[in-house]
Amino acid sequence: MRRLILTFGFACLALNLGNVADAATKRWTGGPGYKTFVIGDEAKPTPDPVKGGFLLSGGGDWALDAFRWFTAHSGHGHIVVLRASGTTESQDEFYNNVKGVTSVRTFLFTDRKAAYDAKLLAAIKSADGIFLAGGDQSNYVRMWKGTPLNAALDAHVAAGKPLGGTSAGLAVQGSWLYGAMDGGSITSKEAMSDPLGAANTIEGDFLHSALLADIVTDSHFEVRDRLGRLIAFVVKAEQLRAAPNKRYARPLVGLGIDEAAAMTVESDGTARVHSNTDGHAWLVQGGEVHDLAVGKPLNIANVHVTGIGKTSTFNVKTLEVGLPAFTRIYDVKDGILAKRVHWSLAIHGGAGIIDRADLTPETDAAYRGGLSQALKAGQDVLEKGGTALDATQAAVRVLEDNPLFNAGKGAAIAADGNVYLDAAVMDGATQKAGAVAALTRTKNPILAARAVMDKTRHVLLAGEGADAFAKAQGLEQVDPSYFHTPEREQMLVDWKKDHQAMINPTHMYGTVGAVAVDSDGNLAAATSTGGLTGKQWGRIGDSPLIGAGTYARNGDCAVSATGTGEFFIRDSAGRQVCDRVRWNHQGIDAAANDTIMSIGSIGGDGGLIAMDASGKASFAINDLGMYRGAVSSDSPVVQTAIYVDETLK
């Protein structure tokens, strides 16, 4: 009984001591120039290792994945929230919705003297993660800049601990920031009307971190139309940091975060965008400034804007973006922002042994006319602001309807006397793709491939299933005889006599395809074919195989191939071109030509068309010719070529 009483006494003592400590924590409700609030147990140890990094949240509903990244980098330990308005909103969100934290303490600043308080500074020093709430960033600048708290925030980052912020708390994290020091929030129109004016209150020498040293940040980006003002922020910040005898490693860039997005940045610079919807980060780079002076509107040309989406890769050190959501070019003239119209389209109508003596002038003209019609169909889409995906589909559809080309009407006939049609499309922005193989009744296989991409969870449908799907989608169905032409029937007769030897060389590897980039920088590819004359029943070539005959990836390239499909499959032709661009840093011409030579080295013949992110088209041939053409916003008159030694004209 005595032991029981003694044990009970110790338990009560421990409980009382715990209550005293807890009460002491809760009694701390403020100090000089601040109030404070806490949730959780600050006495518990931090459960996991702490890792450095940044959380940049755009100011809307929290993307929980990003905030859970922040709590994990804080070791699931103790977070301190700093704010100059509101009360416990952020700490409640962390503790009750994000979860996985030991405690969250909020400091609500009402006066600059709080930034000198020893007790507050001790809490900052011991924090595992620090989060800057939204509100008015001018309060942060006025209350913190040049204070011990300012130094403590820098020390927190230097110690390899994470720093996060939303809205105003995001806006102050770059090396230069818009301070909103005049009590307002400047609009894009106002900022561009006088970028060097007093209303564009740019501040420097506040927070200091190597990762964000050359970055100007902004929040609530697209929904509040803030691209123009971020461009103006960067322009003024560059003016303010300019010094006669100082050179910087790189110019300042802008980084805007959509309201529905958040970016997490690792200590090595790798970054990721999180969003509950389709939010992006906007990387703003470059531009040539003209006639810059106080009181004058902004004039800047060739500003490159890259969208960083949920599937993109990004590094704040190198500024390299993989799989960008979009790439755009903007100009500002006399304070007015305008997106530059920039697009490009290239097509092919198949490769083969094409000598000038093989084509009569009339046939030559007919092929060029068919190519031109296809180019104009795609051009019409792009000039109206349409997508690269729609443009490539439109161009290929025209070629499918033209009996001169081996796709749709006029397709090659298989050994069993039937026509089996293959097609594929790929969207470089999303890397979604759709393909069909061995269609027998669908007039335009390219439409069926698009429907597979848009309306199923699959990539490739084949045979009777593909036919049934196309019919169910309401796509035009025709009698199989529609695809036959006298010329193709004769080619089958010749093939049966001597297989390859008697095939018309001008149709050796007939396939049609298109690649394009639109004004948002999105790449796309589309390919359609009837395959080889006399092919075995069940044979499927490279055209509908993503990564072989068709491929597109934003930021890298788009490819459509034509030739002996088996070799293009074995060498992963389409993907290979884009990988050469991405990983070997080859230009599009070198990547395309090296790929087609690689295919030739294993016995394959043919060609391919490729386009890079800038819209530069490349035509690579290891045979004697390829029906091809191109048109772009820079060269809006369609150009075509047929023979191997011929340039586009």
Q: Confirm if 299 and 334 have CB atoms less than 8 A apart.
A: yes
DSSP character at residue 97: I
**Distance, C-alpha 391 to centroid of its chain:** 20
Alpha helices in 475-572 (DSSP H): 486-498, 565-570
Residue (of 287, 280, 187) closest to 229 by Cα position: 187
Tokens 């421990």 sit on residue: 14
DSSP character at residue 94: I
The SS3 call for residue 442 is: strand
Distance CA 627, CA 352 (A): 9
The Cα-based distances of 507 to 44, 361, 407, 429, 495 in angstroms read 77, 17, 11, 33, 12
Distance CA 511, CA 504 (A): 15
Q: Which amino acid is located at 213 in the chain?
A: A
CA angle at 178 for the pair 287 and 67, rounded to the nearest 5°: 100
379-408 exposure pattern, b = at least 16 Cβ within 10 A, e = fewer: bebbbeebbbbbbbbbbbbbbbbbbbbbbb
The SS3 call for residue 202 is: strand
Distance CA 389, CA 368 (A): 23
Torsion of CA 127, 128, 132, 138, to 10 degrees: 50
Distance CA 434, CA 462 (A): 11
The Cα-based distances of 65 to 94, 310, 419 in angstroms read 12, 12, 50
36 included as an active-site residue: no
DSSP β-ladder status, 34-40 and 30-31: antiparallel
Distance CA 605, CA 592 (A): 14
DSSP character at residue 93: I
The SS3 call for residue 269 is: coil
Among candidate residues 440, 511, 550, 640, the one labeled active-site is 511
| CA quadruple 114, 119, 120, 121: dihedral sign | positive
Tokens 């993109």 sit on residue: 312
Residue 549, Cβ density class (10 Å: 0-12 exposed, 13-18 middle, ≥19 buried): buried
Q: How many CB atoms lie within 10 A of CB 53?
A: 25
Alpha helices in 319-462 (DSSP H): 361-383, 388-400, 445-455
185-211 exposure pattern, b = at least 16 Cβ within 10 A, e = fewer: bbebebbbbbbbbeebbbbeebbebeb
Distance CA 627, CA 562 (A): 10
Residues noted as catalytic? 511
